[in-house]
Structures are given as structure tokens and as C-alpha cells.
Structure 1
């Protein structure tokens, strides 16, 4: 497990802990409200005009609030459980130190699948005039599909096409190009040396290992400066004590533009 995967695991564990805590609190709130409700005899109405009316209404309102709190906490537990389940499901992150290798493996898989689709479609074209069983045998003989999958491939779709539709090859090819470009971009970042530049009251740093561009200030920057950072895509990171964004060509341009704007504003003061 690399550092990124460890962070992801810790993040998931954190969400799971929050979900479990909210679940326990929901159960406790529900149990308390239920116990309070048990104290009221079944069918017992509020005695309007009786000296107990006001306190009885307050008591019943507390029961209602207890159940509401329980329901809200249950929703909170489900929210964090969903967030925990989503961790790591967003594809290969550029922050992952092994991203390039993982993307290369994914690229190889996509390319192999593209070749498979082309080969199977070619077999179907060459056997266009034979009976279905012969087609199936030809497909299975490649070792690329089993009998069940071969039978699916010879079934016409809504447009009467058999095999893999053109859009399937086009979409897969688009993914191949996208992944290949991501690999090139990440390799450029990986080959880039660390860069640091100081300005009045701040330091700008590019860290390829962290895959982050960041601004570190001597103290808390003014609101105008913070707003300017946000407009340039930088966000405060408590763990780094810096304003950061992912290190990309666009981030580099934004950083330079921010520094120009900040220095211009400082000269005008």
C-alpha cells in the first residue's frame, strides 16, 4: 500500500467511524424516546384544562423531538456510510504515486479489448453467410469468448447489427486516447523538478511528489488575497498549512497570474 492508498484507507475508515458513531447515537435517541413514550398509558389523551396539561404537552414534545433526532442521526449515518463506500471508486487519481503504472495497465487492457472486438467483428463479417452454429463455433475457436458470449454476439441489436456496434469501438478508442494523454501529462509532471519562488509575504512552491502547487504565507493573508486565491482555484489545506491545488499546466498558469495580480495590488496600495 503506497502513501496515497494509505490516505484513502484512512479516509474510508474515518467515514466508517463517523457512520458507526451516528448509528449508535440514533439508536440511543430512539431508545430514549421509546422509553419515554412507554410511560404514557396507551390511548391516554392530554387532559385539557388539567394542571398537568402544560407539562404533558412538553413531555410529548420531547418524545417527538427524540424520534426526530433519531431519524436525523440515521440519515447522517447513511450519509457517511455512502461516502465511505465511494472512497476509491472514482477511478485512478493523479495523486496516486503509482498512477502512471496503473494507467499503463488500464491502457493495455483497453487496447487488448479493442483488438478483441475488432477480431471478433472480423470473424463475423467473414462468416456472414453461414448458419448461426458455424458462426458460434468460429467465435469460440478464437478462445476469446465462450459459447454463451458467442451466442449473444450473433443476436441482432435494435438496428439489426451483430457483434460489437461501432459506438462501442469508438467509445473504447476515445478512452484509450484519454488514458494515453493522462499518462503523458503525468510523466511530464513526474519529470518536472521542484520549483520555488518567493514574493512579498509568501512562497510559491511546486511539489511533483505531492502533485501540488501551493502558496505558503507568513501569516493569514487578507480577505482580498484569500478571495483572489480562491478565484485562481487554490484552496486552504490545514494539513499542509498552505493554499493548494493539483499541479497541472493550468495550475502553473493560474499561480503565475495570481502572483502578478497580487503584486499589482500591493503596488497600488
Structure 2
């Protein structure tokens, strides 16, 4: 497990722990919402006795129970949201922050290219046998021979898949095999993955740069952290903080900087943020 993966695991653990605490608060609030006679001293189901000495106590008990139940529901909702976030950690694809991003993307590219090769080969087999008269309704040795040849392309092509690939895309018409749009989409993924690998390789060769703007801040293109960072001498004013947030920068106590991921958009946003702070570029 590399440093990025460990960071993801730590984040998942923090979210799970926060969800557990929210569950505990929800359960505690639910218990406080108890309106039983033992908890309130008021018989269950008894209406408020207007003018009676118990009226104030009864109304207060109802209000406390209502507030507690609302709190219980809110905390339960919060716990579910936190667990959903915890479950989603690490599922957003390969992050540029991952030091192993290039090897992982290279592996992904290899798999995509292999998938593309298999799909094209499968289409050739399907169309060849279709020309020989094999249809989705074909049975017997002829179909078995077709299915066996398709399985020779890749062992995950089962007889059931072989039959499905013989069916026209639009019911009784259209191409058979894998649809053109499927191959087009796959090719787009391959191109995007190649481009991303090139970008990361270029970024890995870059060095950290620090730009000083006297009286305002320092802007750092931190290659090691993969972040554009704004570093101020002290706590910036409320207006400056608003500017930073409006351009996607967030305060990172661990870095002592306002930062966002190092991308072309981040560099552009940094220039806009500087201009709003009166810096002439």
C-alpha cells in the first residue's frame, strides 16, 4: 500500500468512525424521546389537562420528546451519509495524487486495448458464421462449432453470449456482434487514458515552482503534493478567503496553505484569484 492508498484508508476509517459517533448520538436522542409514564410521570395517551398543574410539565415533555426525535432522525441521516461517503472512497477512478497512477493507468490501458482486440475478433467470428447461415435460432453441431471458435477468441465468450451476439441490434434489423458505438466508446476511453498517461509523465518531470507576490502571498506549484498552493503570512481577511473559496481553493492545515489539485484549470484560477487581490500579472 503506497502513501496515497494509506491516506485513502485513513479517510475511510475517519468517516466510518464519524458515522459510528452519529449513530450513537441518534440512539441517545431516541432514548430521550421516550414518552412513557416511567420517563415523564404522565400516563401514556393522556391528553394535556388544560389548567391543571401538570399542563406545563406535559407540554415541556412533549417538546423535549419532539426535539429529541428530530435530533435522532437528523443524526441517523448523517450517519448514513457518512457511511455512503466512506464506501465511495477510492471508487472514483485512478487519482493523479496516487504515486502509482502511471503504472495503474498503463495497466488500465492494456486491459482496454485487450478488450478492444477481443471485441473486434469476436465480431469477425460472428459475421463469418452469420454469412454461413448461423442465426440465434441455430442449434446442433453448426452452432457448437461457431460457439467453440468464439470461445477461442476469449474463454469468457459462453454459448449464451455467442447466441446473443448473433441477434441484430434493433430487433429484426441492424448490425450483429458488438455495436459500432461500443467500439467507438471503447476507443475514446483508450485515447483518454493515453492522453492522461502523457500528462502525468510530463507532470512527473516538472519541478516545484514558487512565485512570490510581495505584500500579498506566495503561490507554489507543488509537484510533490500535486497542488497549487497559496501561502499567506497570516490568516487572510474574510474577503480574501471568499476569493480563494470562489476559485476552488480550500484551506489545508497540514500544508499551511490554500490549495487545489495542480491542473491547467487550477493555474488559470490562481491567476484570477491573484487579479481579484489586486496583483497585476
TM-score by length of 1: 0.89
Contact 1:245 1:251 in 2 (8 A): yes
- Number of corresponding residues: 265
Partner of 1:86: 88
SS in 2 for 1:244: strand
Contact 1:16 1:80 in 2 (8 A): yes
5 Å-filtered alignment, 1:30-179, equals 30-34=30-34, 36-39=35-38, 40-129=42-131, 130-131=133-134, 132=138, 133=143, 134-144=145-155, 145-159=157-171, 160=173, 161-179=175-193
5 Å-filtered alignment, 1:246-261, equals 246-256=261-271, 258-259=273-274
Partner of 1:190: 204
Q: Cα offset for 1:232?
A: 4.4
For 2:19 and 2:246, the matched residues in 1 are separated by 34
Contact 2:112 2:186 in 1 (8 A): yes
Q: Deviations over 1:222-253 (max 9, x none)?
A: 44444444454433222211121211233334
**Unaligned regions of 5+ residues in structure 1, if any?**
none
5 Å-filtered alignment, 1:5-16, equals 5-16=5-16
Q: Deviations over 1:48-74 (max 9, x none)?
A: 221211211111221222222111111
For 1:43 and 1:215, the matched residues in 2 are separated by 62
SS in 1 for 2:218: strand
For 2:271 and 2:25, the matched residues in 1 are separated by 49
Q: Cα offset for 1:7?
A: 1.1
Contact 2:118 2:153 in 1 (8 A): no
Query: In the superposition, relative to structure 1, how do residues 42 and 232 fare at CA in structure 2: closer, same or farther (>3 Å)?
Result: closer
SS in 1 for 2:130: coil
Query: In the superposition, relative to structure 1, how do residues 93 and 264 fare at CA in structure 2: closer, same or farther (>3 Å)?
Result: closer
Aligned counterpart in structure 2 of residue 209 of structure 1, from 224, 227, 242: 224
